[in-house]
Amino acid sequence: MKKLIGIALSVLLFGCSDSVSNSRGVYLLLDTSGTYTKELDKAQQIINYLLGTLDPGDSLVVARIDSGSFSEKDIIAKATFDSRPSVANAQKRAFAGKVDQFMKSIKGSAYTDISGGLLQAVEFMNEAGVGKKYALIFSDLKEELPEGFVRDFDLTLDGFSVIALNVTKLRSDNVNPQEYLSRLEDWKVKVRQGGGEWRVINDLDREDILNIS
Amino acid sequence: MKINDFVTIIPGQPTLSLILLILLLMVGLYMGRNTVHSVINIVMRIVYASLRFAARSLGLTEQKLRARNKEVLLELGKEQVERQLEREFFRVNAVVEKDLGGYPALQRVIADQIARIEEDYKESGQMAPPPPDWVKAVEAVGRLHLETKGNGVAVEVLKNIHETSIKQQKQALEEYRSSMSTRHKLLQTTLPYWRKLTNTVDEVGESMKALTERARDIDHKMSRYEEIRGGTEKAERTLRASSITQFFVSLFVVAIAAGGAVINFNLIALPMSEMVGAASRIGAYKISDIAALVIIFVEISMGLYLMEALRFTKLFPIIGAMNDRLRHRMIWITFAILFTLACMESSLAFMRDQIAADLSALRLSLSQANGVAAAPSVNSWIPMVGQMIMGFVLPFALTFVAIPLESLVHGARTLFGDVLVWLIRMLAFTLRLLGNIFRHLGTLLTQVYDMFIFVPLWLEGILRERPRKAQQPASQAVQTVDSKTDFWVEEVAK
């Protein structure tokens, strides 16, 4: 009933106004470094959850984090779902197929360029003009760059929600947990300084806590 | 300059300074007493008069509003009774046309039946007995028997006569029986006619009874109508009670209809996204949701027009005033639009089921990819058919919301009118109360003022008393309370 009244009022108030973009954009970065590839089954679970949750008009991109991630070539699958639900469902099926294929043929990378991947996500999402922007990082957040790669730039993350998923503890973290905590803190500071919102979710059994709405 | 410096008029004597200051203040206040009293009185009078004026204006507004409410209420009641009377007359007309219209024919039938019965009755009348000549013959034969005693011929003749008589008697008896039987048969044939006649008369009686009841109803309504026209208190009270009851009943029905509209909305919102897209939004709401809502509003509007054209409601006088031909056209057009929308909703409901099934299949395939076991599917054609039927029926059901809506509008007018009258009355009462408070506040303030200068007033009293005791005073200023305004007034008593 409230919804009906709200709609009636919005028709009266904004009847002549332009339509506003309320669509959501989700950019999921998958860490494909050697040690982390074992965790990618869980990533597929997240992707499937997102495919089931996103509405027509929303965008979803899945890209990998490898040695140099600031590149369109790292995008595994991307789609802006059609406004018609039936077409959007077909797109989601195709998307799931592509991701499935990727998961079967995955090769581990030597380095982990998370910053490059995040920058690529920011560029892509700003260009797509989506309303609500989410960057999901499925990684242990341990950045390892090839020699000569520079990633000491400031990210501009206004309007972004950056969510770190399944941040696994490395062997060295077990020796010195402060390393793990510092890693998380560094990323938190980096994202917040860029104007974004930072969250960490490690319990992937409850996908709904992603709270992408 | 500090306060202490100000208070210390005589250096080194603070108490004396204070006493001197108080005395000076008293003298100053005493000297300005009349002016201050006048100012307080004038200000309070202005406030009192303004509040009283406002209260009076509100009182007049309340009276006007109440009169207007009564007028509207009586007008609504009049219209309602007129409508009922019109319907009663229509029914009487139908009874007269149906039953009394056939009365000449019925009368002919009854007259025929009576004529037939009369004829049969006449025919069944008893035959007159033959003239009693045989008595004379018997007497003559008796005399012959006495005169010709022992005569063989005479005996023979008498014997023959006796036999003939017996034969004749038998014959007469048979004839009598036969004629009686014929009469009975004739009377038997009149029995159905009698029954038919009784039924016909009973039918007429029933019609007349129904007509009498209708006439009694009309009488009752006419007396009510006259009461309303007369604007009596009883009529107003009855109409008000009835109006408020109708308001709440209509509110309940409209709330149910709103529930129906919500269900209808949920039924068509998802499939509308297939038609107009689900990505675009106006404000925070999807275009598809807005489109679904617009369809429901169109259905309700068409329902209102249909009910209006059918003369069930009187919300739009222009539709009611249309000529019959145009009105009939409007009925058919609105019905056609409603029917089209109902069919469209039914197909949208079907599409909704398809989309939901597709989405469910997608989620199922995604969850299976995650290793989650699929739940057994239920037979889906039953909800699909249910949705389609609901999609078809709900637009027509929403059509009837026009009737309670009209009652709600009329009831709301009465109820809100009464609430407004009550609010104005309360406001006027508050203003009157405030006015009275200010009036007495003026008196209180002057008394409080005098309290501060009680010493000079006391001295003044003594000084006044002295010459009065010496000689009767020529005049004296007396403070009295004005009976009209209740303000303290200083009068000069002679």
Specify the CATH number for the domain of residue A87: 3.40.50.410
**Separation of alpha carbons B41 and B319, rounded Å:** 63
pLDDT at B253 over 50: yes
The reply to whether B278 touches chain A by the CB within 8 Å rule is yes
**Separation of alpha carbons B65 and B58, rounded Å:** 10
Q: B223 and B163 in one domain?
A: yes
pLDDT at position B51 is 94
Tell me the range of A107-116, B80-89, B249-258, B313-322 where mean pLDDT is highest: B249-258
Domains in chain B, number: 3
pLDDT at B405 over 90: yes
pLDDT at position B6 is 58
Chain B residues closer than 8 Å to A10 by CB = 282-285, 290
A171 in a structural domain: yes
> Residue A19's pLDDT band (boundaries 50, 70, 90)?
very low
Q: B321 and B290 in one domain?
A: yes
Structural domain span for residue B275: 252-364+380-400
Domains in chain A, number: 1
pLDDT at position B2 is 54
Chain B residues closer than 8 Å to A8 by CB = 293
A9 in a structural domain: no
pLDDT at B42 over 90: yes
Concatenating the DSSP letter of every residue in B116-131 gives HHHHHHHHTSPPPPPP
A12 in a structural domain: no
Q: What is the pLDDT of residues B285-335, one digit of tens each?
A: 888 899 999 999 999 999 999 999 998 888 888 888 888 899 999 999 999
B80 in a structural domain: no
A43 in a structural domain: yes
State the amino acid at position B417 in one-letter form: G
B239 in a structural domain: no
What DSSP character marks residue B475? -
Name the residue of chain A whose CA is nearest to B273's CA: A84
pLDDT at position B129 is 59
Q: B307 and B339 in one domain?
A: yes
pLDDT at position A164 is 92
The answer to whether A85 contacts B365, with C-beta atoms less than 8 Å apart, is no
pLDDT at position A8 is 59
ipTM of the complex: 0.74
Structural domain span for residue A72: 21-210
Q: B286 and B207 in one domain?
A: no
pLDDT at B420 over 70: yes
B200 in a structural domain: yes
Chain A residues closer than 8 Å to B273 by CB = 56, 83-85
* Of residues B323, B264, B274, the one with CA closest to residue B298: B264
pLDDT at position A16 is 47
**Separation of alpha carbons B363 and B379, rounded Å:** 18
pLDDT at position B484 is 58
Q: Mutating which of B256, B282, B288, B298 best tests the A interface, going by the most A Cβ atoms within 10 A?
A: B282
A125 in a structural domain: yes
B437 in a structural domain: no
Q: Are B264 and B394 in contact (CB under 8 A)?
A: yes
pLDDT at B486 over 60: no
Give the closest-approach CA distance of A153 to chain B in angstroms: 35
Q: Mutating which of A48, A104, A132 best tests the B interface, going by the most B Cβ atoms within 10 A?
A: A48
Of A163-172, B119-128, B292-301, the range with the lowest mean pLDDT is B119-128
B277 in a structural domain: yes
Q: What is the pLDDT of residues B183-201, one digit of tens each?
A: 788 778 777 878 888 887 8
The reply to whether B111 touches chain A by the CB within 8 Å rule is no
pLDDT at B217 over 70: yes
Q: B315 and B393 in one domain?
A: yes
Q: B137 and B256 in one domain?
A: no
Q: B139 and B103 in one domain?
A: yes
CA-derived radius of gyration, chain A: 18
pLDDT at position A17 is 45
Q: B392 and B290 in one domain?
A: yes
Q: Mutating which of A58, A84, A130 best tests the B interface, going by the most B Cβ atoms within 10 A?
A: A84
Q: What is the 3-state secondary structure (H, E, C) of B133-178?
A: HHHHHHHHHHHHHHHCCCCHHHHHHHHHHHHHHHHHHHHHHHHHHH
The reply to whether B263 touches chain A by the CB within 8 Å rule is no
The answer to whether B367 contacts A84, with C-beta atoms less than 8 Å apart, is no
B33 in a structural domain: no
pLDDT at position B39 is 93
> Residue B126's pLDDT band (boundaries 50, 70, 90)?
low
> Residue B395's pLDDT band (boundaries 50, 70, 90)?
very high
**Separation of alpha carbons B88 and B221, rounded Å:** 9
Concatenating the DSSP letter of every residue in B89-116 gives HHHHHHHHHHTGGGHHHHHHHHHHHHHH
Q: B225 and B109 in one domain?
A: yes
Q: What percent of chain A has pLDDT over 90?
A: 29
> Residue B488's pLDDT band (boundaries 50, 70, 90)?
low
Q: B219 and B260 in one domain?
A: no
Q: B223 and B339 in one domain?
A: no
pLDDT at position A131 is 85
